[in-house]
Amino acid sequence: MGLIEEVITIELPVGESFRIQRCRYAPKKEEGIKRISIVSGIHGDELEGQYVCFLLGQWLRNNPDKIRGIIDIYPAINSLGIDSITRSIPFYDVDLNRIFPGSKNDFLPAQIADGVVNIMKGSDFAIDIHSSNVFLREIPQVRIAKSQEEILVPLANLLNIDFVWVHDAVTVLESTFAHAMNTIGTKTLVVEMGVGMRLGKAYGHQLLDGLLNLMSHEGILDIEPLDVRMPIQSHVGEVAYLNAACPGLFVPAIEHCQVIEKGSVVGHIVSALSGEVMDEVIAPISGMLFTIRAYPIVYEGSLLGRIFGKTNGDSQ
Amino acid sequence: MKRFDIVSLESPNRAPLRIEGFLFGEENTEGPSIAIVGAMSGDHINQLYVASGLVEYLRIKEEEGKISGRILVIPAVNAYALNMGEKNWPLDKTDLNMMFPGYAQGETTQRIASRLFETLKGYDYGIILEGRRDQGMCLPYVKLIQSGYEDLECVKDLGMGFIHYRPHEPVETAMLQYNWQLWETKAFSIVFGKNGSIDQNDTDQVHTAIVRFLSKRDILDFHVFEGHKSNILDPNRITIVKASRAGIFISKVRCGTAIKKGEVVGVIMDALSGKKLEKMLSPCEGIVTCQYAHPLIFQNSIAFRIASVELCCQIDAKRE
């Protein structure tokens, strides 16, 4: 059984404390061993990570003799947000994942970010599990800034995910938890999967296998490596974005994670008022629809989906 | 005065979003040009008030033939949020001032930012009226971030008491000021007031500072009294007073108050028992530039920021 601790406690104004809790699993001898932090709930409306934390905790409780490193599970960083369907830090309405590494001498969300970095400092690895937001549904994927490609892609390939997306990082992403941790030497992967405010059991089990496999490879668990899937690598193709051409109600024509042909219909934007079909959303390339809109109300520009296809347009 | 739509965006069910601009002066004037951007968030009411007040002021000045440059005022960027008590873009909660320079083929708020930025490019000067991002209120100050293209000298023409001049943070690379500077507009922000309210003194002060700037930069042919010789500050020159406890917060001073070392600046009471938990004392002599503005305070929140002359002198002495 893991050791549950409150690692950050901050008084709230009226008879309550803000808290971040950790469940630590460790072998009896803690010297010279690796440490991994499993992180969830930086965004309060993303819950897939909570289920993964549960599954991992359950596995560790059943297999204490396999533990060879320190495994820290943080299911709810933005605990106020998770318990109130609030993405940002309530009261301040600030996205916690845009103010890292934080500061002791700034407002409360920045102090929380600073505290989070300090309690996880010294971890060899961190896995930051996000759902998508409430608008988009994603297949299990890891996103990696190009500057970190060499170090992190081999690690991501162990995670039993479907897609590794290496992207050109914009400067604003320097304000994320992952960037802050990678900067101080903790190899940190950002997992995106599912959709905000919901659980997908299959994705949770898929990532659990990936976490066990990664920990096996790194000597944190004394188990045989698992037979995991090799993710599609973004460098072998291109990502096409589908943005709404007009406002309305988006009605998908196909399921998520389908392989589609260039020119096929992804969905329609319709008018609830007039009964008209306002636009037909067409796939600009052949490939895998790895993102699809889950929340139907759209404005011009709203993201409807993403397709990953080989550079020559062939499907994967 | 020419009133026109800079952005018009259809909504699924609401009336279209319109970002309106008010243009003063001759289109082809050789005089300098300036654009002033008001409320980008739905709680920036002070900023809306100053910008709309400027529209009316400049309308009169234009009728008097006093405008020698070109002035664009955009009072409200995020009218959708203002009209429903939201802070950010109401659908996806993105902050419009985190979307610059925008992307014409991107998501909705990236497109809005892109269309707005197309209009803002090319102005000689740019003023962004900003609210605070925390629960505070402050003395009006100029925020000038260091992008490599900033112009500290021109900002002094506002005659405001304090200029916060500091390196930019990563998150600010997606903000209007940074991007506007990169596109070679002498852009800066004026930060003031408490979000969601109107402070008559602060807004008057900002209005006067902008008119002074317009006059000194030969955009407005109108004389005004001199303002302050601005104090240049960076975060290292500000002393912070934090709340060691959470509870009901009672401030004993106001922004702008000159305080002595050891003076009581605030009190925190237990919100349930009424017991006094903390008497907050000023650690230095100085001026309160900023204070927490909500009656309920969190533990470790910054309750006061104090500009201390002594600290500034120490830093300057070390540098010399």
Of the candidates B12, B109, B272, the beta carbon closest to that of A248 is on: B12
The domain segmentation of chain A, as residue ranges, is 3-230, 235-310
A11/B92 touch (CB, cutoff 8 Å), yes or no? no
Interface residue B96 vs chain A (CB under 8 A)? no
* Final residue belonging to a domain, choices B197, B232, B267: B232
CA of B137 vs chain A CAs: smallest distance (Å): 13
Q: Which residue range forms the structural domain that includes residue B305? A: 235-319
Instruction: Please tell me whether residues B213 and B297 are part of one structural domain.
Output: no
Beta bridge partners of A221: A67
Q: What is the pLDDT of residues A250-274, one digit of tens each?
A: 999 999 999 999 999 999 999 999 9
CA–CA separation, A160 vs B60, rounded Å? 67
3-state secondary structure of B80: helix
Instruction: Please tell me whether residues B157 and B223 are part of one structural domain.
Output: yes
Instruction: Please tell me whether residues B197 and B53 are part of one structural domain.
Output: yes
Of the candidates B93, B108, B245, the beta carbon closest to that of A87 is on: B93
Instruction: Please tell me whether residues B204 and B292 are part of one structural domain.
Output: no
At residue B123, the pLDDT reads 97
Kindly tell me if the per-residue pLDDT of A314 is higher than 70.
Answer: no
Instruction: Please tell me whether residues B55 and B153 are part of one structural domain.
Output: yes
Of the candidates A108, A273, A298, the beta carbon closest to that of B301 is on: A108
Those of residues 260-319 in B touching chain A at CB distance below 8 A are 271-272, 296-302
Q: Which positions in chain B touch A15 (Cβ < 8 Å)?
A: 271-272
How large is the average pLDDT for residues B174-194? 97
> What single-letter DSSP state applies at residue B170?
G
Instruction: Please tell me whether residues B296 and B309 are part of one structural domain.
Output: yes
Q: What is the pLDDT of residues A135-165, one digit of tens each?
A: 999 999 999 999 999 999 999 999 999 999 9
Q: Which positions in chain B touch A303 (Cβ < 8 Å)?
A: 107
For A235-310, give the CATH class: mainly beta
Instruction: Give helix then strand counts, H and E, for chain B.
Output: 7, 18
Q: Which CATH architecture has domain A3-230?
A: 3-Layer(aba) Sandwich (3.40)
**CATH code, B177:** 3.40.630.10
A98/B134 touch (CB, cutoff 8 Å), yes or no? no
Average pLDDT across chain B, whole number: 95
A interface test, pick of B94, B134, B278 with most A CB neighbours within 10 Å: B134
Instruction: Please tell me whether residues B242 and B225 are part of one structural domain.
Output: no
CA–CA separation, A28 vs A87, rounded Å? 38
Yes or no: say if B56 and B29 are a contact pair by the CB < 8 Å rule: no
Environment class of A119 (CB within 10 Å of its CB; exposed 0-12, middle 13-18, buried 19+) = middle
Q: Which two three-digit tokens encode residue A23?
A: 């469940």
Q: E-strand spans in B154-222?
A: 162-167, 186-191
Angle between helices A48-62 and A201-217 (to 10 degrees): 50
Q: What is the pLDDT of residues B253-301, one digit of tens each?
A: 999 999 999 999 999 999 999 999 999 999 999 999 999 999 999 999 9
Interface residue B105 vs chain A (CB under 8 A)? yes
Q: How many domains does chain B have?
A: 2
Yes or no: say if A108 and A89 are a contact pair by the CB < 8 Å rule: yes
pTM for this prediction: 0.92
Environment class of A149 (CB within 10 Å of its CB; exposed 0-12, middle 13-18, buried 19+) = middle
CB atoms within 10 A of CB B61: 20
Q: Which positions in chain B touch A13 (Cβ < 8 Å)?
A: 246-248, 271, 296-298
Yes or no: say if A106 and B240 are a contact pair by the CB < 8 Å rule: no
At residue A315, the pLDDT reads 40
Q: What is the pLDDT of residues B35-66, one digit of tens each?
A: 999 999 999 999 999 999 999 999 999 999 99
Q: Tokens 């609210």, residue?
A: B131
**CATH code, B311:** 2.40.50.100
